Amino acid sequence: MAYPYFLRVAYAGGGFHGWQIQSVLRSGQGVLWDALRRLDDQVPMPQGTGRTDAGVHARGQGVLATLSRPWEPYRLLAAVNAHLPWDLRVMSVQAAPEGFFPRQHAVGKRYVYRLGTGPAADPLAHGQRWHVHGAAPLEVAAMAEAGACLVGTHDFSSFRCAECVAPSPVRTLHACRIQLRDGGLDLVFEGDRFLMHQVRIMTGTLVDVGRGRRPAGALEGILAARDRRAAGPTAPPEGLCLDQIWYEARWGIGDPCPFGDQSR
């Protein structure tokens, strides 16, 4: 018999070449699979919800692991973590219903991009924030105004990289907000799905606005252009974190999506 479990996984992305397993390079999926096979040599490759780029962190990666015998969730969590390195951990475990598949049944995601500001980069935040150097502080109000232009259902062609293979560039962004933090600020993006590098390109463009290199109203024209060359630079990966994933409520996995099950 097969026993499926849902694992919420966190990792520090700096030590991984992304989530997806690779033939030689270290990946989150590969490291987790190695640990699971220490407990069950028949376990198939665990399936994650979203792919993260090399260097991108995760706090809420959702993973389906199917084992050949039943486990108490707290025992499985402890057993897997005993075989994992410091930079990847299983944070919670619950039994998953038959037929649940994380990628197929996800309806929303939250990404957080952390920016550092000020005259010097905080060494204790190294690898966790993009420090934006500048003589003047970022114009946060202008960034918030520009971010509001991104909310809604749009063709985000201007905000995806050339290697993106998604069949459609249309996505729904439910929220784009700025949260001030000690030493910097967080850009919070919540949407149904995201294109390859979409959050990093949106961040780079908003930082351009904050630096006064673009007016806040330019975002509408950038969206309308449907051309990657119209948008700003791609922000570096170390500031980005996959913070949370929501699933269809019928599966009973995690909290219900605040935007409903029809967001896809």
**Helix then strand then coil, % of the chain, to nearest 5:** 30, 30, 45
Residue 94 in domain: yes
Per-residue pLDDT at 114 exceeds 50: yes
Same domain, 77 and 126: no
pLDDT at 261 over 90: no
- Output phi, psi for 223, to 5 deg: -60, -45
Indicate if 27 and 85 belong to the same structural domain.
yes
In-domain check, residue 183: yes
The residues that are catalytic are 53
Give per-residue pLDDT as tens, 84-111: 999 999 999 999 999 999 999 999 999 9
Nearest alpha-carbon partner for 56 in 227, 229, 197: 197
Q: Report the share of the chain in percent with pLDDT over 70.
A: 99
Tens-digit pLDDT profile for residues 4-61: 999 999 999 999 999 999 989 999 999 999 999 999 999 999 999 989 999 999 999 9
**51 HSE (CA, 13 A, CB side):** 14
Domain end (from 53, 74, 100): 100
Q: Domain check: are 94 and 111 in the same one? A: no
Domain end point (choices 100, 118, 134): 100
pLDDT surpassing 70 at residue 264? no
Place of tokens 């463009």: 205
Q: Is the pLDDT of residue 263 over 60?
A: no
Q: Provide the CA 52 distance to its chain's centre, in angstroms.
A: 6
Contact 235/129 with Cβ under 8 angstroms? no
pLDDT above 90 (res 203): yes
CATH code for the domain in which residue 197 is found: 3.30.70.660
Determine the average pLDDT of the residues in 105-128: 94
Give residue-wise pLDDT tens across range 179-192. Answer: 999 889 999 999 99
Average pLDDT, the chain: 95
CATH of residue 47's domain is 3.30.70.580
Final residue belonging to a domain, choices 79, 100, 121: 100
Q: Work out the end-to-end distance of the chain between its first and last CA atoms, rounded to an integer number of angstroms.
A: 32
CA angle 51, 56, 62 (to 5 degrees): 45
Domain span at residue 212 reads 107-243
